[in-house]
Structure 1
Amino acid sequence: MIWLLDLDNTLVGRDDAFALWAADAVARAGGSGDDLAAIVAADGGGFARKTDVARVIADRLGWEADLPAVVERFRAGILAHVRAYPGVPALLDGLRAEGDRVVVVTNGTSAQQRGKIARCALAPHVDAVVVSEEEGAAKPDPRLLEVALGRVGADGADRRDVWMVGDALHADVAAGRAAGVRTGWVSHGRDAGDGPAPDVVGRTVHDVVAAVRALAAPAGPAPARP
C-alpha cells in the first residue's frame, strides 16, 4: 500500500502552532481576546492569502504595515511552535515496517514546509517529501500526487492501493479523487458538509489509518454450520 499524507493538521499541528504564536503576539501587544479571535479567523486554517492575514495582524496589533515582514514573523512563529501529533512517528514507522511506502504531499513554500518537517524530525520516518512550491503544482491539482508516486517508483501502482489522506476536503480529498486514488479525511470532529466525499473518515490520522486497515483486512472464516 502507498500512503500519500498531507502535512499540516494531518501529521503536525499547524493551526495549533499558529494559534500559540498569535496568542503570544497579542499578549505582547496588549491586545484583546477579540484581536486573537480575528487573527485566527483571518488565517483560515492556513488557506487564506498570507498578505491578507498579515494585514489583519498589523491592524490589530499596531504593527508597521510591512506585510512581507509580518508574513515572515508569523511563519517563523509557526515553525517555533509546531509539533507532530502524538504517536505520528511511530505510526509512520509501523506503516513502513509492513512494507508500505509513505510520502508527505504538502502545499506551501519549500522553506516553510521542509522547516516543519525538520522541526518535527519526520524525514527519517517517510520515504519521500513532495512540496508544491518545488513542483509547480498544488493540491487539488492531481499532478502533485503523480509526482509523489513517481518519487517512490510507483507510477504504475494499482490506484486502489494508493491512499491520499489529509484534513482538507477541498485540497486533499479533491486531489485524491482527481488522481483516481482512494481518500481518507482527517476530520478533527468536523462535519463534511458539501465537500467531496472521502472513502474513509476519522477524527485523527491514526483513526483514518485504522479504518483503512480494517477495510483491507481479509474476511474471517465463515461461521461453522450447525
Structure 2
Amino acid sequence: MIWLLDLDNTLVSRDAAFAAWADSAVTADGGTAADLAAIVAADDGGFSPKADVARELIARLGWVDDVPAAIDRFRAGIREHVRAYDGVLADLDALRAAGDQVAVVTNGVSHQQRGKIAACGVEASVDAVVVSGEEGVEKPDPAIVEIALERLGASAVDRDQVWMVGDAGHADVAVGRAAGVRTGWVSHGRAWDDVHGAAPDVVGATTRDVLALATAGEHAAS
C-alpha cells in the first residue's frame, strides 16, 4: 500500500501554530482580542493569499508597511510553533515497517514547508517529500500525485493500492479523486461539504483515525 499525506493540519498542526504565534504577536504589540480574531480569520486556515494576511497584520498591529517582511515574520512564527500531531509519525513508522510506502504531498513554498518538516522530524518517517513550490504544480492538479508515485518508484502501481489523505476537500480529496486513487479526509470535526463532490472513501476526525479506518478496511478486504 502507498500512502500520500498532506502536511499542514494532517501531519502537523499548522493552524494551531499560526494561532499561537498570532496570539503572542498581538500581545507583544498591544493588540486586542478583536485584532487576534481578525488576523486568524484573515489567514483562513492558510488558504488566503499571504499578502492579504500580511496587510491585516500591518493594519491591526501597526507594523511597518512592508508586505514581504510581514510574510517572512509570520511564516517564521509558524515554523517556531508548529508540532507534529501526537502519535501520527509513529503510525507512519508502523506502516513503513509493515512494508508500505509513505510520502508527503504538500502545497506551499519550499523553504516554509521544508522548515516545518524539519522542525517536526517528519522526514525520518516518510520515503519521499513532494512540495508544490519545488515542482511547479500543486494540488488539486493530479500531476503532483504522479510526481510522488514516480519518486517512490511506483508509477505503474494499481491506483486502488494508493491513498491520498488530507484535511482539505478542495485540494487533498480533489487531487486524489482526479488521480484515480483512494481518498481519506481528516475532518477535524467538520461535516463534509458536497460542494467538493462525492464523499471521500474514508472520513475520520483525526489523521490517526483515517489511517486506522483505511488500514482496517484493507485488512478486511485481504
CA distance in 2, matches of 1:213, 1:4: 14
Instruction: Give aligned pairs, total.
Output: 220
User: Which digits, 9 at most, give the CA deviation of each residue in 1:89-145, with x for residues without a partner?
Assistant: 211100000100000000001100000010001111100000001110000011001
Instruction: Return the letter of the residue paired with 2:28.
Output: R
Q: How many percent of aligned residue pairs carry the same amino acid?
A: 66
What does residue 224 of structure 1 align with? none
Map Cα deviations across residues 66-97 of structure 1 (whole Å, 9 max, x no partner).
Answer: 00000000000000000000012211100000
Change in Cα spacing, 1:99 to 1:219, as seen in structure 2 (3 Å) is closer
Match of 1:218 in 2: 220
Larger radius of gyration: 1
Post-superposition offset of 1:217: 1.7
Query: 2:92 maps to which residue?
Result: 92
Q: Distance in 2 between matches of 1:214 and 1:102?
A: 17
Q: CA deviation at 1:64?
A: 1.2
1:202 maps to which residue? 204
Q: What is the one-letter code of the residue matched to 1:169?
A: G
In 1: Cα distance, 2:135 partner to 2:126 partner = 19
- 3-state SS in 2 of match to 1:84: coil
| Number of the residue aligned with 2:151 | 151
Query: How has the CA–CA distance of structure 1 residues 204 and 26 changed in structure 2, closer, same or farther, with 3 Å as cutoff?
Result: same
- Report what 2:73 is aligned to: 73
CA distance in 1, matches of 2:217, 2:96: 18
Give, as a single letter, the amino acid of the residue that structure 2 aligns with 1:14.
R
Q: Structure 1 residue 59: deviation in Å?
A: 0.3
Q: Distance in 2 between matches of 1:24 and 1:70?
A: 15
Q: CA RMSD in A?
A: 1.0
Q: Which SS does the other structure have where 1:64 is aligned?
A: coil
Deviations 1:155-176 (A, max 9, x none): 0110001000000000000000
Superposed displacement of residue 216, structure 1:
1.0
**Aligned residue for 1:35?**
35
2:171 counterpart residue number: 171
Cα deviation, residue 219, structure 1: 6.1
Question: Which structure 1 residue ranges, 4+ long, deviate > 4 Å from structure 2?
Answer: none
C-alpha distance in 1 between matches for 2:192 and 2:67: 33
SS at match of 1:165: strand
Residue type of the alignment partner of 1:127: D
Partners of 2:89 and 2:216 in 1: how far apart? 21
Residue 218 of structure 1 deviates from its aligned partner by: 3.1
Match of 2:114 in 1: 114
> In 2, Cα distance between the equivalents of 1:14 and 1:191?
20
In the alignment, structure 1 segments of 5+ residues that lack a partner are: 221-226
